[in-house]
Amino acid sequence: AQRVTQPEKLLSVFKGAPVELKCNYSYSGSPELFWYVQYSRQRLQLLLRHISRESIKGFTADLNKGETSFHLKKPFAQEEDSAMYYCALSGVSGGNKLVFGAGTILRVKS
């Protein structure tokens, strides 16, 4: 079974502090992992995916197959990073289906 776990419902940090949003997954095959973000009054959108190995808006995420994790990190949080973040997994079954975690609200305080 495919499962994505985001253990924190809310993460509150001060501006300039490092951020780490945790994501663990359960999947027996070779997964594709994503981070989606939903800013206030905006639609859900892709932030980054592990296969791209990019840094988007200062965020990075490394797939650790040994620990089955895909944590999202940013060295210095900004107020505009405040949003809901979802970790998602795509397996090899048909339909490009995504399994989402419960989401983590990131609040960056000034």
Partner 1 sequence: NAGVTQTPKFRVLKTGQSMTLLCAQDMNHEYMYWYRQDPGMGLRLIHYSVGEGTTAKGEVPDGYNVSRLKKQNFLLGLESAAPSQTSVYFCASSYGRLRLRDEQFFGPGTRLTVL
| Nearer CB in complex with partner 1: 86/108 | 86
How far is C-alpha 94 from the geometric centre of its chain's CA atoms? 23
Give the span between the Cα atoms of 77 and 55, in whole angstroms: 14
Q: Which of residues 28-47 bind partner 1 (CB under 8 A)?
A: 32, 34, 43-46
Is residue 9 exposed (0-12), middle (13-18) or buried (19+ Cβ within 10 Å)?
A: exposed
CB of 65 to partner 1, least distance (A): 16
Of 49, 59, 81, 108, the residue at the interface with partner 1 (CB under 8 A) is 49
**Length of the chain in residues, anyone?**
110
CB of 110 to partner 1, least distance (A): 26
Q: Which residue ranges make up the site for partner 1 (CB under 8 A)?
A: 4, 6, 9, 32, 34, 43-46, 49, 86, 90, 92, 94-103
